[in-house]
């Protein structure tokens, strides 16, 4: 492996740094976007059951807020009613929408960085290719003399060009795949949060009547 890095020359090091960063971001997103941390399947039903007759106490709401991202959104609506039992339906929805925007920002964290790596890695590989081409042209005899070019420098230039192109694609393709995967997963979670908050808003509005 180290011999390949040596053959690829110094342009390979920024690509290696990007690959390490991309791997760290993928692992972090897999941990942060677990279903139990974002939208536990039965949480909404439990909240509706607990608030069937009255709004839960503040300590229960605090526990709900700490449960997951969905719990944070639902707790914002319950806390709004605890603070002001006469708050309008619009104020209730606005409270949950505000919490939803905060959660959405947190769910989308680092996705732009992963997308940037997916876009920049091929360009960095192309840069390495250009450096390799410069090495190749530099290996040729300046005046076309009988001695010809420098074979070692020619081989080194070809290695730089090919290895950097290949490694740039090796970094970009998985980064793009994981970015699309996480993007779709976040969109699915946001839809779940929106539908759950809408259902809770209707439930609380009925409860007040």
Q: In the predicted model, is pLDDT for residue 32 greater than 90?
A: yes
Is the pTM higher than 0.75? The answer reads yes
Interval 178-202 mean pLDDT: 94
Tell me which DSSP letter residue 77 carries: H
pLDDT in tens, 109-148: 999 999 999 999 999 988 888 888 887 776 665 555 445 5
More confident residue, 93 or 9: 93
The overall average pLDDT reported for the chain is: 86
The more confident residue out of 207 and 161 is 161
Cβ neighbors of 58 (< 8 A, separation 6 or more) are 79, 82
- Residue 28: predicted pLDDT: 96
pLDDT tier at 208, thresholds 50, 70, 90? low
Residue 172 phi/psi, 5° resolution? Answer: -70, -40
Model confidence band, residue 160 (pLDDT cutoffs 50, 70, 90): confident
pLDDT of residue 203 exceeding 60, the answer is yes
Range of the domain at 41: 2-208
3-state secondary structure labels for all residues of 141-209: CCCCCCCCCCHHHHHHHHHHHHHHHHHHHHHHHHHHHHHHHHHHHHHHHHHHHHHHHHHHHHHHHHHHC
Domain count, the chain: 1
For 35, the token pair is 């279903």
Among residues 18, 47, 6, the alpha carbon closest in space to that of 168 is found at 18
Instruction: For 3-31, give the DSSP string.
Output: HHHHHH-TTHHHHHHHHHHHHHHHHHHHH
């Amino acid at each position: 492996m180290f011999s390949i890095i040596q053959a690829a020359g110094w342009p390979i090091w920024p690509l290696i740094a990007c690959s390490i960063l991309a791997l760290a971001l993928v692992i972090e997103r897999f941990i942060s976007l677990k279903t139990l941390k974002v939208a536990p399947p039965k949480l909404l039903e439990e909240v509706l059951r607990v608030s069937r007759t009255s709004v839960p106490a503040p300590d229960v709401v605090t526990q709900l807020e700490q449960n997951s991202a969905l719990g944070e959104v639902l707790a914002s609506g319950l806390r709004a009613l605890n603070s002001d039992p006469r708050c309008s339906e619009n104020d209730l929805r606005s409270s949950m929408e505000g919490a939803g925007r905060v959660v959405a920002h947190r769910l989308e964290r680092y996705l732009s960085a992963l997308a940037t790596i997916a876009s920049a890695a091929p360009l960095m590989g192309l840069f390495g290719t250009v450096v390799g081409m410069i090495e190749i042209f530099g290996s040729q005899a300046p005046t076309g003399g009988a001695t010809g070019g420098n074979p070692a420098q020619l081989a080194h230039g070809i290695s730089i060009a090919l290895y950097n192109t290949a490694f740039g694609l090796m970094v970009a393709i998985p980064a793009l795949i994981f970015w699309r995967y996480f993007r779709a997963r976040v969109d699915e979670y946001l839809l779940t949060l929106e539908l759950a908050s809408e259902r809770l808003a209707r439930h609380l509005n009925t409860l007040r009547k």
